[in-house]
Amino acid sequence: MKLTAPGMSRQSFTSLLEQRTEFFGRNGKICADAFQRSFFEWRYCQFEIDQLCGLKVFDCPACSPFMLAVAVDGNRKMYRFKRGDEDHGLFKGVFVCEDDDVSKFVDYINEKTKHSVGKGVCGTSQWTAARESVPKKVNKLDEEGMEVAVCRHGVLLRSLNMMRGEIFAYPMYLQKEMTPRNVQFMCTDVICKYWLYLQRVVNDCPELSPLLDMKPFLSVMHAKAHSWKCEIKWGGRNQDGAGTTLGEEVEQVNSFLSRTAICSKYMTKGARTDMITIQAMAWNKRKIENLAKVLS
């Protein structure tokens, strides 16, 4: 049900079950909190069984062990309001990177590298994602969105919570996470700004130099909004070896995840992480099952 109707809340689903209960002449009210907790625990047990069976949920069979391209983009609709009591959830670190690790990486980059405050302008367009730093956090929001990485077949690979808007340090962290997968192309909507920023960071942080082994790739559709010089130099259609890669695969995934945001923005941190991870696993399972048909 959550895959077919991602925006359905637990209250709506338990209300549906209660109507079925009354229809068949039974009595009793379903506790929404207990129902959600038991569902998460049951789904986590299934995940552990899949791990013991050697099933890799967040790996694309067509891209392993050498991945041609990874597309990274932010989703500002996946925000969450602050809650009183927070928990870590059962799927901690499985799909969504741990916030502490991401924060330490961002602080390290900010400490080592000097940032420019200029606006991300390319041609006649101004890109809100082309930022090196954000001065302050949005009030009442604990997470301001999510940064997601997918392969060229639309399989979800990794994600993280954005605490300071769409800054360049977030896709850099995901790029670092993708290094062991032998990725050839790094695709973003603002690669012309991001790649220059990455080169400057590598000068101050030599241990990140393997990130430059990937090739920059400007998403084909977004390239039309950049300057024509930028499109020629960075555009995906002009990159040798990229094939028919679009670099826009993450937009399809974000369209699916955005519907999940309707019922996840008021959850606790752990419940939100669990729900998004379960949604991501269901999405990947459907993608992998249809992969042979898509490739043929």
pTM: 0.88
Q: What residue spans define the domains of the chain?
A: 58-295
pLDDT in tens, 160-188: 999 877 888 999 999 999 999 989 999 98
- Please give the Cα distance from 188 to 218 (Å, whole number): 6
- Please give the Cα distance from 271 to 34 (Å, whole number): 12
pLDDT in tens, 62-87: 998 889 999 999 888 888 877 666 67
Burial grade of 116 (CB within 10 A; 0-12, 13-18, 19 or more): exposed
Q: Residue 162: which of 173, 146, 174 has the closest Cα?
A: 146
CA 17: distance to chain centroid?
A: 32
More confident residue, 125 or 32: 32
Give Cβ neighbours of residue 272 (< 8 Å, ≥ 6 apart): 80, 89, 264
- Please give the Cα distance from 162 to 76 (Å, whole number): 9
The most distant pair of C-alpha atoms in the chain lies apart, rounded to whole Å, by 71
Place of tokens 């990794």: 158
